[in-house]
A and B are shown apart, each in its own frame.
Chain A
């Protein structure tokens, strides 16, 4: 057990904070699961936080000059470097507090980015920040492609998915690689807290974000974020799809606490992956062989995860 988490009191349905550190009027698409996840993250963190945002959908839709959706201090520099900017903010506050130039009251530092900013272009910057041990949390809002630039594939795009740079055709069936396991890469840094979360399980999500913020040193939360525009799904089904991803074992929910894998929700009676795949146009072209492969691999990956949690 991590000492910081010994006094952890989770959110419950009855004590959800009413405050909205992220304001209405942002420009996210209808039914955006990513901004909804971000809203939950911010509700969990409250207002004593500084947000370092990577370039991407959330940065664009929340900062249309001369307006901002942020009720907390927020900075955006570039695509790949949110973790470095957070390192700088955290370090500056440490030295300024030591010198009595700012209040010693603890303020959480969050870096937040999409799957491209996290698993692809920003991996080195995050790795550096985690290895150096800055006291911050990194939140990845994973909508499984470069949505802001028009749905191009990323390393986090799932196998078989159609994107504008992984189009199915006579020579291709869409994305040919399996989704990169970014949480495992983060866990490999030996940081104290890593978790996956889904907005369909909002209490679980908010509790994990709160834990990540409480932990001293780096922590990481990887959040599944449905994108109706990029996935070709109905806006009203964003939460349903997020739930299905968990129920089909496509996106398992777990924590890695001090190196120990803990399943947040064991799926004993999984739904077939087809239930999940058929909700989204990006999987519409897949043939039986691909679906069979996905089912087999999803089962195998889940087994691996269960084994890790039993170690």
Chain B
């Protein structure tokens, strides 16, 4: 039986990549992703992981190498953050339609300007539509488990899609947490060897990445979208198998004290732990408040989310991203679309909080719930509100 040990989450994530037996890692250092790739290069240098580490000259090259490596048939991993993710952006759109199951960890961080190394979700929300499977981890154990799940699902022949596991920069990547590292035999059982549909090989020459003329571009995009949507079945199966082997069950949407709740906080990522504390305190004070946490962001788990919110009257959705000029944050917009004209759907209020490393405290969550309850009675002027921002 595996032991629970105190370890920095980045180190545990790198160890999980090694447990998954990644074969090619191409990465460029960027705070706060650095500890992951440093530890991986150490594991390769020490012979603990039989893999090749390509120390590329940019994140764009990291993703480009990853595409080549995956197309050649190797299990491929990379990790990045923020500006680096943005620099990759052009290439992020390729592995989805081309069905290259690259696995990436994004240590979420704010985007410049002003330059900020601290945590929020603006980097990944820019890349919302790249056509990768995306999950968000709440804690260190989850980061490790979701990463193993990512390899299991991405390379499944029914899926063959790239996969991002989001972990909050610093607040998750750099903290030391008690984590159970799975046994190698169990991981080997969980993640079979990568057997790609096709690989670049002179014995069976194929052409990857041809021109998509107007007669076929829409169909190519449709095929990608449909396989991404259909991947949910395998994602769920992957979590079921994970529970059978490792004893920890994951779901696309998690709920906390939502029974009879009238107002629900909706979160993604590591702030959910603070939100749970806030829910406990508000429950103790007699408020019917609960928490819904979205773990699977793409493909979006619509039915699971609708089920999770039950009969709640009000949703307070927290976005860690401020999209200038938009009607509200991306998660808020997603949920408004999802629940629009659904009979009995709750009122949805969008809040932006925790930008560029600003803590979202228990009190802030209480403030958000109070405001949502107030707006439920009296419609707010703005479609979203930035929490904890100074005016003067």
Q: Is residue B125 within 8 Å, beta carbon to beta carbon, of the partner chain?
A: no
Q: Is residue B213 within 8 Å, beta carbon to beta carbon, of the partner chain?
A: yes
Q: Is residue B296 within 8 Å, beta carbon to beta carbon, of the partner chain?
A: no
- A77 vs B65: C-alpha distance in the bound complex, in angstroms? 10
User: Do B56 and A76 touch (CB < 8 A)?
Assistant: no
User: Do A95 and B202 touch (CB < 8 A)?
Assistant: no
Kindly identify, within residues 37 to 91 of chain A, every residue whose CB is under 8 Å from any CB belonging to chain B: 47-50, 52, 59-60, 63-66, 68, 70-78, 80-81, 84-91
User: Do B65 and A91 touch (CB < 8 A)?
Assistant: yes
Kindly identify, within residues 87 to 126 of chain A, every residue whose CB is under 8 Å from any CB belonging to chain B: 87-96, 98-99, 101-103, 107, 124-125
Kindly identify, within residues 199 to 243 of chain B, every residue whose CB is under 8 Å from any CB belonging to chain A: 200-213, 216
Q: Is residue A132 within 8 Å, beta carbon to beta carbon, of the partner chain?
A: yes
Contact with B along A221-233 (1 / 0, CB 8 A): 0000000000000
A305 to chain B, nearest CB (A): 29
B237 to chain A, nearest CB (A): 26
- A71 vs B207: C-alpha distance in the bound complex, in angstroms? 9
Question: What chain A residues lie within 8 Å of B210 (beta carbons)?
Answer: 63-66, 68, 76
Q: Is residue B164 within 8 Å, beta carbon to beta carbon, of the partner chain?
A: no
Q: Which of B23, B60, B205, B208 contacts A92 (CB 8 A)?
A: B23
User: Do A88 and B205 touch (CB < 8 A)?
Assistant: no
Interface size class of A (residues with CB under 8 A): 35 or more
Q: Is residue B302 within 8 Å, beta carbon to beta carbon, of the partner chain?
A: no
B48 to chain A, nearest CB (A): 15
- A72 vs B66: C-alpha distance in the bound complex, in angstroms? 21
Q: Quick one: given A95-B74, A96-B23, are A88 and B202 in contact (CB under 8 Å)?
A: no
Q: Is residue A131 within 8 Å, beta carbon to beta carbon, of the partner chain?
A: yes
Q: Quick one: given A88-B54, A88-B72, A95-B74, are A81 and B61 in contact (CB under 8 Å)?
A: yes
User: Do B58 and A128 touch (CB < 8 A)?
Assistant: yes
Q: Is residue A279 within 8 Å, beta carbon to beta carbon, of the partner chain?
A: no
Question: What chain B residues lie within 8 Å of A84 (beta carbons)?
Answer: 56, 60-61, 64-65, 68
User: Do B67 and A85 touch (CB < 8 A)?
Assistant: yes
- A128 vs B56: C-alpha distance in the bound complex, in angstroms? 7
Q: Is residue B90 within 8 Å, beta carbon to beta carbon, of the partner chain?
A: yes
Contact with A along B83-116 (1 / 0, CB 8 A): 0000000110010000000000000000000000
Q: Is residue B321 within 8 Å, beta carbon to beta carbon, of the partner chain?
A: no
Contact with A along B33-76 (1 / 0, CB 8 A): 00000000000000000111011111011001111111111101
User: Do A78 and B54 touch (CB < 8 A)?
Assistant: no
Q: Is residue B24 within 8 Å, beta carbon to beta carbon, of the partner chain?
A: yes
- A59 vs B207: C-alpha distance in the bound complex, in angstroms? 11
Q: Is residue B82 within 8 Å, beta carbon to beta carbon, of the partner chain?
A: no
Q: Is residue A295 within 8 Å, beta carbon to beta carbon, of the partner chain?
A: no
- A65 vs B220: C-alpha distance in the bound complex, in angstroms? 11
Question: What chain A residues lie within 8 Å of B201 (beta carbons)?
Answer: 50, 73, 102
Q: Quick one: given A89-B69, A89-B71, A91-B54, are A65 and B212 in contact (CB under 8 Å)?
A: yes
Q: Is residue B263 within 8 Å, beta carbon to beta carbon, of the partner chain?
A: no
- A95 vs B70: C-alpha distance in the bound complex, in angstroms? 12
Q: Is residue B26 within 8 Å, beta carbon to beta carbon, of the partner chain?
A: yes
B89 to chain A, nearest CB (A): 11
User: Do A99 and B64 touch (CB < 8 A)?
Assistant: no
List residues of A whose CB falls within 8 A of some B CB. 47-50, 52, 59-60, 63-66, 68, 70-78, 80-81, 84-96, 98-99, 101-103, 107, 124-125, 127-128, 131-132
Given A78-B91, A88-B66: 20 more A-B contacts, CB < 8 Å? A65-B216, A68-B207, A68-B210, A72-B202, A73-B200, A73-B205, A73-B207, A76-B208, A77-B68, A77-B94, A81-B91, A85-B64, A85-B67, A85-B68, A88-B70, A91-B68, A92-B72, A94-B52, A96-B23, A102-B201
